[in-house]
Amino acid sequence: VHIHVYANVALPDDIDYAHKFGADGIGLVRSEFLFFQNKKLPQFNEQVEYYNQIFTKSKSLHPIIRILDIGGDKIPTYMKIPKEFNPYMGWRGIRFLLKKKELFEEHLSAIMSAAVNIDYSLMIPMVSTFNEWKEAKGIIYQIAHKLKKPVPKIGILFEVPLALLDIKNFLPELDFASIGTNDLIQYLLAADRNNANVSYLHNPIDISFLNIIHNAILTAKRAGKPISICGEIAGNPLYTVLLLGLGLTRFSITPHNIPIIKEIISRVSFTDVQEKVIHLLRHSHHSDSTKKQVYNLNKELLDKFYHNFKTYFELIENSDV
């Protein structure tokens, strides 16, 4: 089984690190960074320039561009957006773009204009319903048609629980799927990702959470569609073995961690790991015991290579998770 380790990037220079650390692709371009770097709304030409650089630097790394993900905690200061009582539950990602059609269309036009002879994909953030997906996809097709450009591959960043739980119904329409565990965890647990008082709940080894991820991966595999995880959990060496065991074959992570994640992957057998993790899922019922089991699992599976990663794994003993 080939395991892919992709890079998450935001600005064009990050792509140098993706190459340097041996990324197999660019699994997430956080395109909103251009909007945050600027003091005012980036003009069409500035956007084209940004994507030109992204595409030029990516070379053969096939970037997956996440379309503009603003709203929630991510609002550029120059944008006058009404204050929301509950921004995480509010006007974010695709919900925002579908109401700001001009901005959305200009954004897509900039991406497509910059994309000359390059293989790339578009990923849609914060999709909750099938209608949102259909509408967004329709607009992408329209713009491609208008500019006489090829339609790129299109996928969903699954971070809203309802959409992920319904992934089976989305899959036939998608080219690929990615799981945004950072937001997904906060929504599944109803715990704000930036609130220190509830951060103890953000436990990526919560057994119910792992079961949900496992089901999504299996469902995508059955449908023959690629699925990755691009949330922080995928780049944390503590969880590599666990995620492999859930059947994950595409990790999208911060470039600096690519070497260690690849090293862990190279040290274990995929079948062996899957067997052990499935056993853990069946026999672990609450997260306190899961923590110990994950620690033991890392130790057991990495066996004589364990000392290479010791400093990482000891963290699990002392951390909240």
Q: Footprint of Mg ion on this chain (CB under 5 A)?
A: 159, 180, 183
CB of 102: closest distance to Mg ion in angstroms?
24
- For ligand PEP (CB under 6 A), the number of binding residues is 8
Q: Whole-angstrom Cα distance, residue 106 to residue 48?
A: 10
CB of 183: closest distance to ligand PEP in angstroms?
3
Binding mask 135-164 for ligand PEP (x = CB under 6 A): ------------------------x-----
User: Measured from the CB atom, is 202 or 262 closer to Mg ion?
Assistant: 202
Pick the stretch among 49-57, 96-104, 176-184, 268-276 that binds ligand PEP (CB under 6 A): 176-184
CB of 299: closest distance to ligand PEP in angstroms?
28
The answer to whether 110 touches 44, Cβ cutoff 8 Å, is yes
**Considering the rule CB under 6 A, would residue 182 count as an interface residue with ligand PEP?**
yes
User: Measured from the CB atom, is 32 or 301 closer to ligand PEP?
Assistant: 32
**Considering the rule CB under 6 A, would residue 231 count as an interface residue with ligand PEP?**
yes
CB of 74: closest distance to Mg ion in angstroms?
9
Which H or E run includes 215?
A: helix 207-222
Residue nearest to Mg ion (CB): 183
What sign for the dihedral angle of Cα 266, 267, 270, 276?
A: negative
Pick the stretch among 106-114, 142-150, 180-188, 276-284 that binds ligand PEP (CB under 6 A): 180-188
Q: Whole-angstrom Cα distance, residue 136 to residue 100?
A: 12
Give how far Cα 299 sits from Cα of 106, 270, 281, Å.
51, 16, 17
CB of 305: closest distance to ligand PEP in angstroms?
29
CB of 215: closest distance to ligand PEP in angstroms?
18
3-state DSSP of 24-90:
CCEEEEECHHHHHHCCCCCCHHHHHHHHHHHHHHHCCCCEEEECCCCECCECCCCCCCCCCCCHHHC
**Considering the rule CB under 6 A, would residue 30 count as an interface residue with ligand PEP?**
yes
User: Measured from the CB atom, is 132 or 183 closer to ligand PEP?
Assistant: 183
Which H or E run includes 7?
A: strand 4-9
**Considering the rule CB under 6 A, would residue 123 count as an interface residue with ligand PEP?**
no
Which H or E run includes 189?
A: helix 181-189
The CB-side HSE value for 94 (13 A sphere, CA atoms) comes to 26
Pick the stretch among 12-20, 82-90, 174-182, 217-225 that binds ligand PEP (CB under 6 A): 174-182
Contacts of residue 116, Cβ cutoff 8 Å, sequence gap at least 6: 55
**Considering the rule CB under 6 A, would residue 181 count as an interface residue with ligand PEP?**
yes
User: What percent of the residues of the chain are helix, what percent strand, and what percent coil, each to the nearest 5?
Assistant: 60, 10, 30
**Considering the rule CB under 6 A, would residue 180 count as an interface residue with ligand PEP?**
yes
The answer to whether 23 touches 234, Cβ cutoff 8 Å, is no
Residue ranges in contact with ligand PEP by CB under 6 A: 30, 159, 180-183, 230-231
